[in-house]
Amino acid sequence: MRPPIAQFIAEKVRVFDGGMGSMLIAAGMPVGQCPETFDADKIQNIHEQYVAAGADFILTCTFGGSALTLGKHGLAERTREINRRNAEIARRAAGNRAYVVGDLGPTGELMEPFGPYSEEQIVAAYAEQVRGLEDGGVDAFIIETMSDPREMAAAAKAVRSLSPKPLIASMTFTSTPRGYRTVMGTTVEQAVEAMTAADADILGTNCTLAPDDIAGLVREICRYTRRPVLAQPNAGRPQIEGDRVVYPPIENLEQHIEAILDAGARLIGGCCGTNPDYIRLVRSVVDRRNKS
Ligand SMILES: [Zn+2]
């Protein structure tokens, strides 16, 4: 048995996994395929690579697993079953070596008054996903890559109405001349306030920013909260090469990982474009710091 997550993360800096999307493509996922229904063995193999690279936490392959997002593939009716399957895949890969975190991403739809969906509809779309992730035995939940604090709150409401397990809320920011903002214009302070009000145990930021420009954001988040903070930057700044997105390597990556930890992150992983090699490097930096 692994210790409760709260205790596990209080002891030391801990490592999350890296990106799933680019790994799925590398594993042969066809364009247009719904990632949540991709080959189970291939998904499991990606999880296993992250566990072998030293991830303490792995995220289920359910970023687009809300009923609304699966509905775009005609799979809304199978939301619970698909999420259960993918939680079980991650569970098998994790064994007793890592915690499994049920992953909830944005629905890709706008809530009233900017879009057609009521709060109740968004909560219901997430609730069906949460039921499946619970069926599959996840250890915790993460709501990630959120730009709209209200959608984040709706997802959190769905989790909290169904599960007492640890909840991570992670929002994504761009760097603007006026400071870090979500694309909805939310400030860091407002985002922290919203994530706290949503009863997240761990607050985080992921995606959009590269390892060399996320430390300032982490520092700012830490200024507004005493809760543990998770940072999951992208591998770098994306470039389009033909029909693919690539992330040219960041110089001095190790120093940037150090800077993210110096800024106050207690949990660190990677988002788009990161891979097991990146996580291995994160692991080695974290191990060195945990020892000293
Ligand atoms: Zn990302």
Ligand 1 centroid vs 242 CA: distance in angstroms?
20
Ligand 1 centroid vs 270 CA: distance in angstroms?
8
Ligand 1 centroid vs 19 CA: distance in angstroms?
7
Report pLDDT digits (tens) over 63-93.
Answer: 999 999 999 999 999 999 999 999 999 999 9
Average pLDDT of the chain, as a whole number: 97
Q: What is residue 174's DSSP assignment? A: E
Report pLDDT digits (tens) over 244-275.
Answer: 888 998 999 999 999 999 999 999 999 999 99
| Sign of the C-alpha dihedral computed for residues 120, 207, 255 and 52 taken in this order | positive
Ligand 1 centroid vs 64 CA: distance in angstroms?
13
Q: What is the CATH number of the domain that holds 125?
A: 3.20.20.330
Ligand 1 centroid vs 213 CA: distance in angstroms?
14
- Please compute the mean of the pLDDT values over residues 24-45 and round it to a whole number: 96
- Please compute the mean of the pLDDT values over residues 15-33 and round it to a whole number: 95
The string of DSSP letters for 182-236 reads -TT--BHHHHHHHHHHTT-SEEEEESSS-TTSSHHHHHHHHHH--S-EEEE--SS
Ligand 1 centroid vs 27 CA: distance in angstroms?
18
* Predicted confidence (pLDDT) at residue 47 exceeds the cutoff of 90: yes
Compute the distance between CA of residue 151 and CA of residue 53 in angstroms, rounded to an integer. 32
Q: Are 270 and 247 in contact (CB under 8 A)?
A: no
The string of DSSP letters for 28-95 reads TPPTT--GGGS-HHHHHHHHHHHHHHT-SEEE-S-TT-SHHHHHTTT-GGGHHHHHHHHHHHHHHHHT
Map residue 157 onto helix, strand or coil.
Answer: helix
Whether pTM > 0.85 for this model: the answer is: yes
E strand intervals along 76-166: 99-104, 140-146
Compute the distance between CA of residue 108 and CA of residue 115 in angstroms, rounded to an integer. 11
- Please compute the mean of the pLDDT values over residues 206-223 and round it to a whole number: 97
Ligand 1 centroid vs 226 CA: distance in angstroms?
25
pLDDT score, position 244: 83
Ligand 1 centroid vs 22 CA: distance in angstroms?
10
Ligand 1 centroid vs 274 CA: distance in angstroms?
9
Q: How many domains does the chain have?
A: 1
Ligand 1 centroid vs 271 CA: distance in angstroms?
4
The residue whose two tokens read 């909830």 is: 104
> Who contacts 99 (Cβ-Cβ below 8 Å, separation ≥6)?
2, 5, 8, 56, 57, 58, 139, 140
Structural domain boundaries enclosing 229: 5-291
Map residue 238 onto helix, strand or coil.
Answer: coil
Compute the distance between CA of residue 249 and CA of residue 93 in angstroms, rounded to an integer. 28
* Predicted confidence (pLDDT) at residue 292 exceeds the cutoff of 80: no
Ligand 1 centroid vs 247 CA: distance in angstroms?
12
Compute the distance between CA of residue 31 and CA of residue 110 in angstroms, rounded to an integer. 25
**How far is CA 125 from each of CA 42, 128, 232, 237, rounded to the nearest angstrom?**
27, 6, 25, 32
* Token code pair at residue 30: 């066809």
| Sign of the C-alpha dihedral computed for residues 232, 236, 237 and 238 taken in this order | negative
pLDDT score, position 114: 87
Ligand 1 centroid vs 292 CA: distance in angstroms?
31
Interhelix angle 276-291/40-53, nearest 10 degrees: 30
Ligand 1 centroid vs 186 CA: distance in angstroms?
18
Ligand 1 centroid vs 237 CA: distance in angstroms?
11
Q: What torsion do the CA atoms of 171, 264, 284, 239 make, to the nearest 10 degrees?
A: 40
